[in-house]
Amino acid sequence: MRDDTPRTDCDADRPQRGDATDGDDAATDGGATVGASGDGASASRSDPGSVGDRADDAVDGVSDRRGDPVLELDGVIKRYGSETAVSGMELTVHEGELVTLLGPSGCGKTTTLRMIAGLETPTDGTIAVGGDVVAGHGAVRPPEERDVGLVFQEFALFPHLTVAENVAFGLDDPDSAAADSRVAELLELVGLDDYGDRSVTDLSGGQRQRVALARSLAPEPDVLLLDEPFSNLDVSLRVRMREEVKRILDEAGVTAVSVTHDQEEALSISDRVAVINDGHVEQVGAPGEVFEHPTSRFVASFLGQASFLPARVGERDIETSVGSYDRDLLNGLGDGYVGSHVDVLVRPDDLRATPVPAGDADGEVIRRQYTGPSFVYHVKLNDGTVLRCLHNHTEEFDVGEPVAVTLVADHALAWYPAQ
Ligand code: ATP
């Protein structure tokens, strides 16, 4: 599971993987460049009809903005003995985009990243970088022969080298004038122009991360891989650094794949988010697309707080236990569904609770979650369904209070055939 413990910059001063004595370890395992690129994004629609035809758009995200495929994973499988870590990964990443692999612990994100880097060998399937197959068809290229840069969460900088020397490390001829100029360019890009001669041990966590990023960008990799790049930073720095890293990646025009458990991070900085479930891509698309139009209950539940409101579809309306609503409220619901039962995805901001006399209530408050600016009230309806309603912090209801619930969403809602 993700370690959410707030960390300080002091943590970054602890010995890091690849720091210690053997610089080569950092270069190959923790480090700068591991050398390799694709379009294979696919969404499985475990709940067909859930979002109408929009799910097909979600397969590729917003297609007209994308450049050429740079990284392609096709049917990639990784087994460790009887354990299947990755079970048929299909993903294409296009030139200049940042795609984030997001999913629960153990779903295969890191294994996927390591296979792209060449640190693990797929059991089956192919991985191509820049059109060249680097794994598959019976051949595997070692990390150093792939045009792939890697930034680990530990940063893996060499403590005995200066900032500039760390950045120059991955270049073919680090002592050349061309290397000096490339290092200067990168230090400017990451906002460390005046830090070239400093020891990396004198830097803050955020500054170390910039050095690690500059070092990985130095050889101009086709693809940059970021393994939970913000998890070693304290919470406030994490938010600032993710914006900064996104700016740097955009400015460098690099194609990047990041791994995280943190949905806010994934939604805020990615061009596309690939939600991983049990070793495969469950849905990939622009952040707003996957959040607002999840093609499966898994994706709906993994991203944000999700409740499912049972509804019966009528000619014009849908009937629910909290009232009737216009059928158009459901995204892409065809006439073929008249008379059938569906479950409507409702997020806390789609619902409002109002205290009423017990006889008029749809249910009662069973839990209140205080988040500072707001309350999320968990309401158990008389039919047993539990919904979550978002309220301003000034609207205080008690647990046990009878309430009426209203659907206040002013946007089309995703839905799934009733289970
Ligand atoms: P987390 O978010 O917790 O880091 P993850 O999504 O990155 O998880 P992976 O580290 O890719 O998940 O692991 C996927 C599955 O493969 C897990 O069940 C894990 O136990 C298993 N696994 C990973 N590496 C190995 C290994 N070297 N040997 C055996 N099983 C492994």
Residue by residue, DSSP assigns 296-352 as SHHHHHHSS--EEEEEEE-SSEEEETTEEEEGGGBTT--GGGTT-EEEEEE-GGGEE
Tell me the percentage of the chain whose pLDDT exceeds 70.
Answer: 84
Residue reference for tokens 């409740």? 307
Atom of ligand 1 at shortest range from CA of 108: 11
Structure tokens at 356: 């009423």
Q: Which residues contact 82 (CB under 8 A, 6 or more apart)?
A: none
Element (H, E) at 167: helix 163-168
Residue 113 has pLDDT above 60, yes or no: yes
Whether 56 contacts 46, CB under 8 Å: no
Query: Quick one: pLDDT at residue 25?
Result: 31
Query: Quick one: pLDDT at residue 138?
Result: 80
> Angle at the Cα of 322 (from 319 to 323), degrees rounded to 5?
45
Most ligand 1 atoms within 8 A of CB, residue of 1, 101, 110, 265 to mutate: 110
279 lines ligand 1 (CB under 6 A): no
Residue 53 has pLDDT above 70, yes or no: no
Query: Quick one: pLDDT at residue 11?
Result: 31
3 lines ligand 1 (CB under 6 A): no
Atom of ligand 1 at shortest range from CA of 84: 16
Which residue CA neighbors atom 16 of ligand 1 most closely?
A: 85
Structure tokens at 45: 């629609």
Read off the pLDDT of residues 272-313 as tens digits, 9 standing for 90 and up.
999 999 999 999 999 999 998 999 999 999 998 899 999 999
Query: Quick one: pLDDT at residue 321?
Result: 95
Read off the pLDDT of residues 311-352 as tens digits, 9 standing for 90 and up.
999 999 999 999 999 999 999 888 889 999 999 999 999 999
Query: Quick one: pLDDT at residue 137?
Result: 82
Distance 187 CA to ligand 1 centre (A): 34
Provide the CATH number for the domain formed by 305-417 in this structure.
2.40.50.140
204 lines ligand 1 (CB under 6 A): no
Give the mean model confidence (pLDDT) for residues 375-398.
96
User: What residues pair up with 318 in beta bridges, in sequence order?
Assistant: 313, 325
If DSSP codes are grouped into helix, strand and coil, which group holds residue 50? coil
Distance 279 CA to ligand 1 centre (A): 10
121 lines ligand 1 (CB under 6 A): no
Distance 369 CA to ligand 1 centre (A): 32
Among 88-102, 237-251, 257-271, 331-345, name the one with the lowest average pLDDT: 237-251
Read off the pLDDT of residues 121-176 as tens digits, 9 standing for 90 and up.
999 999 999 999 999 988 889 988 898 988 877 677 888 889 998 999 878 777 77
123 lines ligand 1 (CB under 6 A): no
Round to whole Å and give the CA distance between 212 and 216: 6
116 lines ligand 1 (CB under 6 A): no
Distance 357 CA to ligand 1 centre (A): 52
Distance 358 CA to ligand 1 centre (A): 50
Q: What is the residue extent of each domain of the chain? A: 51-301, 305-417
Give, in order, the Cα–Cα distances in Å from 234 to each of 10, 79, 231: 10, 34, 8
Asked if the domains 51-301 and 305-417 are classified in one and the same CATH topology, the answer is no
Residue 393 has pLDDT above 70, yes or no: yes
Q: Which fold has domain 51-301?
A: Rossmann fold (3.40.50)
Beta-strand runs (E) in 107-251: 124-129, 132-136, 139-140, 148-151, 223-227
**Model confidence at 66, in pLDDT bands (50, 70, 90)?**
low
**Model confidence at 14, in pLDDT bands (50, 70, 90)?**
very low
Whether 135 contacts 293, CB under 8 Å: no
Distance 238 CA to ligand 1 centre (A): 24
**Model confidence at 361, in pLDDT bands (50, 70, 90)?**
very high
Query: Quick one: pLDDT at residue 180?
Result: 83
109 lines ligand 1 (CB under 6 A): yes
Residue 76 has pLDDT above 50, yes or no: yes
Distance 124 CA to ligand 1 centre (A): 17
Q: How many residues does the chain have?
A: 419
Nearest to 61 by CA among 285, 232, 372: 285
107 lines ligand 1 (CB under 6 A): yes
Which residue CA neighbors atom 15 of ligand 1 most closely?
A: 85
Structure tokens at 388: 């979550």
Nearest to 403 by CA among 346, 330, 352: 352
**Model confidence at 65, in pLDDT bands (50, 70, 90)?**
low
In what side-by-side order are the strands of the sheet with 69-80?
83-94, 69-80, 124-129, 132-136, 139-140
Nearest to 413 by CA among 341, 317, 347, 362: 347
